[in-house]
């Protein structure tokens, strides 16, 4: 009877080890897939960050142009009275 019990324990132990190995393999596969997905997302986030930076640079450039135009208009409005008073001097 002891040999039967030992044989049964051995079989159950081997089945448990095989099940653990299958679970470990599946977990490894899941971890690999998650890692690949995270790496792809990281590349996409980097690309989006570059686009956002480029858009930000474009907006900054547009604001500089708009502010420059406003300053030029102010300067022209300041020069207008001088032009009216001394017309021939500024032509």
CA–CA dist 86, 82 (Å, integer)? 6
Task: Name the band, by pLDDT with cuts 50, 70 and 90, for residue 91.
Answer: low
Q: In the predicted model, what is the mean pLDDT of residues 29-51?
A: 96
Helices (DSSP H) in the chain: which residue ranges?
Answer: 2-85
Inter-residue contact 83 to 90 (CB < 8 Å)? yes
Task: Name the band, by pLDDT with cuts 50, 70 and 90, for residue 86.
Answer: low
Find the domain containing 75 and state its range. 2-90
Q: Which are the contacts of 90, defined by CB distance < 8 A and separation ≥ 6?
A: 79, 82, 83
Instruction: Tally the domains of the chain.
Output: 1
Whether 68 has a pLDDT exceeding 90, the answer reads: yes
């Amino acid at each position: 009877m002891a040999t039967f019990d030992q044989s049964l324990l051995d079989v159950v132990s081997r089945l448990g080890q095989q099940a653990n190995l299958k679970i470990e393999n599946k977990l490894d596969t899941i971890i690999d897939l998650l890692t690949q997905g995270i790496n792809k997302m990281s590349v996409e986030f980097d690309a989006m960050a570059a686009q956002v930076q480029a858009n930000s640079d474009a907006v900054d450039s547009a604001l500089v142009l708009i502010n420059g135009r406003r300053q030029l208009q102010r300067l022209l409005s300041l020069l207008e009275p001088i032009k009216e008073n001394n017309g021939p001097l500024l032509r």
